[in-house]
Structure 1
């Protein structure tokens, strides 16, 4: 009977440690933003202010484009999407400093 009383606190402590580790590590469950469908309609490149690729853990690889205050999902393999990305990257490219 004394052995049984010793096991209960150990099991309880193990459960508490396990539960607390699950609660504190919420970022390990998966990516924050994923695309579940793509925008099929083209939108003006000059309205896109930034872009970011979705996490590799997402089911669909996409590009999140910021248009105004909205983020829209686009297919990164589409030619019109590639042109917008290239345009933004060329705008953001820094010129080399002269020494």
Structure 2
């Protein structure tokens, strides 16, 4: 009887540990799923046009962000948010896409 209770306690302990470790794994994967995720959302947009020669790359913001946005990375590695609905932003995206090395 005593042996059966110990085995039951060990089984419950192992099951709890597996549950804890799998929960931690899910949290770690959720926080590192995307390089551009909710951590890089646009809260304000740049309204002035950016110089074409100064833009290195661009990325659209993550779907979980509250607002759609385009993050332009400049040659000096500054990141600038812009409204993707603006005509000048669409033109700059086209320029960057067509002039990729």
Deviates more, 1:69-78 or 1:38-47: 38-47
Residue 86 (structure 1) aligned with residue 90 (structure 2): no
Q: Provide, for residues 8-49 of structure 1, a one-character-per-residue CA deviation record: whole Å limited to 9, x for no partner.
A: 525632442344323432335992421111112222222112
Q: Which residue of 2 aligns with 1:42?
A: 49
Pairs aligned (count): 93
Give TM-score scaled by structure 1 length.
Answer: 0.69
Gaps of 5+ in 2: none
Regions of 4+ moved over 3 Å:
1-8
CA 1:5–1:91 in 2, change beyond 3 Å: closer, same or farther?
closer
The CA RMSD measured in Å over matched residues stands at: 2.9
Q: Which residue of 2 aligns with 1:21?
A: 25
Q: Tell me, what secondary structure is at the counterpart of 1:39?
A: coil
Gaps of 5+ in 1: 94-99
Cα distance between partner residues in 1 of 2:77 and 2:95: 20
